[in-house]
Every structure is written in structure tokens, then in C-alpha cells.
């Protein structure tokens, strides 16, 4: 089975600048559940590796922030971490690495723009971290993560507001409009094991942002990010 996707594995290794000892781990990390739904072939989806990678990424980033910013309070560290380890940032790193073309997914998902979908790119990146952790161990995984996040950490830490998107939007909304935003899950789609949530954020009856993610929390964060951009653009006019 691996031979069928040999080119994808080789291209992914080149983009990641990593040579995996266990190529199957990398193959699994690139395999979206939609491919198995269509092909019924003997691959393993990236869901378990994504679960592992999410935890590994969180621990490494948390430790790095703890060491790098000794004057930050617990609350400041938590807000900064949330502004770094989120769907938009992870998908952004995946785009920079150009991982989209290497994702193994069903034809329908490809046609619907899956290779540039934030949630899919985020999941693949987390799965690759999980695969790397199993293949190379923690030290090399840490090097890979910090190589890709060092500039992001520096940039985010220098922002006047490095809070998470929901907190940032609420503060801006109260400041500029005088009211707190309300979040609502307006759609759930996909199978139970691969659920996608769609959130909408409103002030009064006006929609300021819509976002999606594999959890309600991630969907709300995406909606808040869109809302911040809209509110900022409106305020600059």
C-alpha cells in the first residue's frame, strides 16, 4: 500500500525536511478519513495521530512560553498559548510547508476545496507532529516545532493584545459597541467520529463572524477571528 503513495511520502519528507524511519507513520498522518470512506482500502486515518500530536504540541509550546517569558503571569501565558496553538495558526504553518497537495483524501473532499480547508490542514499538521514524536522522539519533535513556531511566538508575544480571539473580540466589542457578543452553533456536519461544527457570533442580531472547527471551541475561535477583522475594518473606515 505504501508504494502507491511513495511520491506523496517523498514530497512530504522534502517539504518537512525530515526523513522518517517508519514511512507508514507519515503515510497515516497524511490520510484523511474521507479517503477511506470512498476507497475502503487498508490505510489508517490520521485521527489517532492528530490526537497525540495535539498533546505533544501543547506541551512543547507551553514549556517554551514558560521558559521564554518568566515575567508573564499564568493568565498571560494561557492567553498567549491560545493565540499560538489555534486552528488558524496551525493551518497557516501547514500552508507555509505546502502540505495541502500531499494530503490523501477522497475525491469529493478534494473537489470541495479540502486541500485548503483550515480544519483539515490543522489536523494533518497535528498528525504529522504525532507521527514525528513516535518516529524520532521528543527532542527532534521539539526542534521541528520550534523551528516552525519561533517567529510566530516572537510576533504574538509582542502584540499589545495577545489574548485568544474570543477574549480579544469581546474586549473590542464592549469598547466600540458597548455590548458583549453571543456565540451560537448553527450547523454540525460529518460523521460522529469526524464532526465539524459551525459557529456564528452576533451582537444584537448582526452577524460579525462565522467559523468552523472539529470542536465547538475551535469553531467559536474561528468565528471570533473573522469578527475581529470585520470590526477592525469597520472602525478604520
What's the CA dihedral at 107, 108, 110, 112 to 10 degrees?
A: 160
Of the residues 54, 102, 164, 212, only one is catalytic, namely 54
126 is catalytic: yes
Look up cell 498559548; give the residue: 81
Cell numbers for 210: 462565522
Of the residues 64, 122, 126, 212, only one is catalytic, namely 126
Contact between 119 and 222 under an 8 Å Cβ cutoff? The reply is no
- The set of catalytic residues is 54, 126
Amino acid at each position: 500500500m505504501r508504494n502507491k503513495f511513495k511520491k506523496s511520502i517523498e514530497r512530504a519528507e522534502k517539504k518537512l525536511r525530515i526523513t522518517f524511519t517508519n514511512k507508514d507513520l507519515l503515510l497515516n498522518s497524511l490520510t484523511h478519513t474521507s479517503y477511506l470512506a470512498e476507497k475502503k482500502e487498508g490505510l489508517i486515518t490520521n485521527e489517532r495521530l492528530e490526537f497525540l500530536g495535539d498533546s505533544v504540541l501543547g506541551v512543547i509550546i507551553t514549556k517554551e512560553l514558560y521558559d521564554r517569558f518568566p515575567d508573564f503571569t499564568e493568565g498571560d501565558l494561557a492567553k498567549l498559548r491560545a493565540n499560538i496553538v489555534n486552528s488558524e495558526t496551525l493551518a497557516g504553518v501547514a500552508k507555509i510547508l505546502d502540505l495541502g497537495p500531499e494530503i490523501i483524501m477522497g475525491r469529493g473532499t478534494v473537489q470541495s476545496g479540502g486541500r485548503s480547508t483550515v480544519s483539515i490542514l490543522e489536523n494533518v499538521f497535528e498528525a504529522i507532529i504525532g507521527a514525528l514524536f513516535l518516529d524520532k522522539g521528543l527532542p527532534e519533535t521539539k526542534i521541528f516545532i520550534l523551528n516552525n513556531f519561533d517567529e510566530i511566538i516572537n510576533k504574538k508575544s509582542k502584540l499589545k493584545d495577545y489574548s485568544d480571539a474570543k477574549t480579544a473580540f469581546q474586549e473590542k466589542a464592549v469598547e466600540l459597541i458597548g455590548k458583549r457578543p453571543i456565540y451560537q452553533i448553527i450547523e454540525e456536519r460529518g460523521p460522529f467520529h469526524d464532526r465539524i461544527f459551525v459557529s456564528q457570533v452576533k451582537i444584537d442580531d448582526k452577524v460579525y463572524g462565522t467559523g468552523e472547527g472539529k470542536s465547538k471551541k475551535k469553531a467559536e475561535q474561528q468565528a471570533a477571528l473573522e469578527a475581529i477583522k470585520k470590526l477592525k475594518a469597520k472602525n478604520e473606515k
